[in-house]
Chain A
Amino acid sequence: MVFSSYVFIFAFLPLTLLGFYLLPRLIASGGKLRYAQNLLLIAASLVFYGYYNVYYLFIIIVSILVNYTLALAMQRCSLRRPALEKLCFILGIAFNIFLIGYFKYYDFFIENINFVFGSSFTLKHLLLPLGISFFTFQQLSFLVSVYKKEEEVENFVSYCIFVLFFPQLVAGPIVLYSEMIPQFNDESRSRFDSDNMASGVYMFCIGLFKKAVIADTLALFVDNGFAQDSLGLAAAWAASLSYTLQIYFDFSGYSDMAIGLGRMFNIDIPYNFLSPYKSESFSELWRRWHITLGRALSTYIYIPLGGSRRGRARTFFNTFLTFLVSGLWHGAAWTFVLWGSIHGLFVALEKTFPRLREKLPRWLRIACTFILVNALWVLFRAESFSQAAMVYRGMLSFSSLGLSQIASLALDNSFDFPTSVDIAYLFSLLAVLLFVVFRCRNSRQRLENFSCTGKSLAFCLFLFCFSVLHLSRESIFIYFNF
Chain B
Amino acid sequence: MKKNLTSAQWLRRFLALALAALAVLAAIVYIIDPYYNYRAYDHKYKLDKIFSVPGVVKNYDYDAIVIGSSMTQNFDMDSFREKLGQNPVKATLGGITSAEISALFKLAQESGHAQSYYICIDTSVLSSERDEQRFPDYLMDFSLLNDYKYFWGYEAWMRFIPLNLGLLAADKLGIRLPERFDEARSIDLMGNWAYRYEFSAEQVLEVYSGSGNGAAINVDMTSISDNALANCESFVGSLDLSRGDIVFFFPPYSSLLWYKMEEEGSFDTTMELKRRFVELVESYDNVKVFDFQGAELTADLDNYMDLSHYSPEVNDFMVSCFASGDYLADTGTLADTERQIRENIDILLSRYPEIEKLK
B4 within 8 A of A: yes
Using a CB-CB cutoff of 8 Å, which residues 1-57 of chain B contact chain A?
1-11, 13-14, 17-18, 21-22, 25, 48
Is there an interface contact between B22 and A201, defined as CB atoms closer than 8 Å?
no
Is there an interface contact between A197 and B7, defined as CB atoms closer than 8 Å?
yes
Q: Which of B81-89, B115-123, B155-163, B284-292 contacts A (4 or more CB under 8 A)?
A: B155-163
Is there an interface contact between B1 and A453, defined as CB atoms closer than 8 Å?
yes
Provide the residues of chain A in CB contact with B155, threshold 8 Å.
Answer: 414, 472-473
Is there an interface contact between A194 and B2, defined as CB atoms closer than 8 Å?
no
Provide the residues of chain B in CB contact with A121, threshold 8 Å.
Answer: none
Is there an interface contact between A461 and B154, defined as CB atoms closer than 8 Å?
no
Is there an interface contact between A454 and B4, defined as CB atoms closer than 8 Å?
yes
Closest A-chain residue to B148, C-beta based? A6
Is there an interface contact between A415 and B163, defined as CB atoms closer than 8 Å?
yes
In the complex with contacts A453-B3, A461-B21, A201-B14 CB distance below 8 A: yes
A356 within 8 A of B: no
Is there an interface contact between B14 and A469, defined as CB atoms closer than 8 Å?
no
Is there an interface contact between B10 and A469, defined as CB atoms closer than 8 Å?
no
Is there an interface contact between B163 and A452, defined as CB atoms closer than 8 Å?
no
Provide the residues of chain A in CB contact with B152, threshold 8 Å.
Answer: 6, 468-469, 471-472
In the complex with contacts A194-B11, A452-B10, A457-B13, A465-B21 CB distance below 8 A: yes
User: Interface readout for A1-37 with B: 1 if CB under 8 Å, 0 if not?
Assistant: 0000010001000000000000000000000000000
Provide the residues of chain B in CB contact with A469, threshold 8 Å.
Answer: 25, 152-154, 157-158
Provide the residues of chain B in CB contact with A456, threshold 8 Å.
Answer: 1, 10
Provide the residues of chain B in CB contact with A144, threshold 8 Å.
Answer: none
B113 within 8 A of A: no
A451 within 8 A of B: yes
Closest B-chain residue to A413, C-beta based? B50
A297 within 8 A of B: no
A464 within 8 A of B: yes
Using a CB-CB cutoff of 8 Å, which residues 446-470 of chain A contact chain B?
449, 451-457, 460-461, 464-465, 468-470
Is there an interface contact between B158 and A470, defined as CB atoms closer than 8 Å?
yes
Looking at chain B's contact residues, the main secondary structure is helix
In the complex with contacts A414-B48, A469-B25, A452-B17 CB distance below 8 A: no
B149 within 8 A of A: yes
A195 within 8 A of B: yes
Docked CA distance A464–B163 (Å) = 23
Contact partner of A452 (CB less than 8 A), chosen from B5, B48, B148, B154, is B5
Docked CA distance A452–B12 (Å) = 11
Provide the residues of chain B in CB contact with A415, threshold 8 Å.
Answer: 159, 163
Distance (whole angstroms) from the CB of A84 to the closest CB of chain B: 52
Is there an interface contact between A414 and B159, defined as CB atoms closer than 8 Å?
yes
Interface size on B, residues (CB 8 A): 29
Contact partner of B7 (CB less than 8 A), chosen from A194, A454, A460, A473, is A194
Provide the residues of chain B in CB contact with A325, threshold 8 Å.
Answer: none
- Give the one of B10, B21, B22, B148 with max A CB within 10 A: B10
A198 within 8 A of B: yes
Distance (whole angstroms) from the CB of A459 to the closest CB of chain B: 11
Provide the residues of chain A in CB contact with B22, threshold 8 Å.
Answer: 465, 468
Docked CA distance A201–B2 (Å) = 20
Closest A-chain residue to B6, C-beta based? A452
Using a CB-CB cutoff of 8 Å, which residues 421-480 of chain A contact chain B?
449, 451-457, 460-461, 464-465, 468-473
Provide the residues of chain B in CB contact with A465, threshold 8 Å.
Answer: 18, 21-22, 25
In the complex with contacts A194-B11, A198-B10, A468-B22, A454-B5 CB distance below 8 A: yes
Distance (whole angstroms) from the CB of B229 to the closest CB of chain A: 27
Is there an interface contact between B159 and A452, defined as CB atoms closer than 8 Å?
no
Provide the residues of chain A in CB contact with B18, threshold 8 Å.
Answer: 461, 464-465
Distance (whole angstroms) from the CB of A439 to the closest CB of chain B: 20
Is there an interface contact between B1 and A455, defined as CB atoms closer than 8 Å?
yes
Provide the residues of chain A in CB contact with B11, threshold 8 Å.
Answer: 194, 197-198, 201
Using a CB-CB cutoff of 8 Å, which residues 132-188 of chain B contact chain A?
148-149, 152-155, 157-159, 163
Docked CA distance A197–B8 (Å) = 9
Provide the residues of chain B in CB contact with A464, threshold 8 Å.
Answer: 14, 18
Distance (whole angstroms) from the CB of A423 to the closest CB of chain B: 19
In the complex with contacts A194-B8, A457-B10, A457-B14, A451-B1 CB distance below 8 A: yes
Is there an interface contact between B14 and A6, defined as CB atoms closer than 8 Å?
no
Using a CB-CB cutoff of 8 Å, which residues 216-273 of chain A contact chain B?
none
Provide the residues of chain B in CB contact with A6, threshold 8 Å.
Answer: 148-149, 152
Distance (whole angstroms) from the CB of B54 to the closest CB of chain A: 15
Distance (whole angstroms) from the CB of A223 to the closest CB of chain B: 16
Using a CB-CB cutoff of 8 Å, which residues 168-223 of chain A contact chain B?
194-195, 197-199, 201
Docked CA distance A321–B7 (Å) = 48
Q: Which 3 A-B pairs have the closest CB atoms?
A: A452-B10, A472-B153, A194-B7
**A residues at B contact (CB < 8 Å):** 6, 10, 194-195, 197-199, 201, 414-415, 449, 451-457, 460-461, 464-465, 468-473
- Subset of 7 A-B contacts with CB under 8 Å: A194-B10, A198-B7, A198-B11, A457-B17, A461-B21, A469-B154, A469-B157
4 A-B pairs besides A10-B148, A453-B1 with CB distance below 8 A are A6-B148, A455-B1, A457-B13, A464-B18
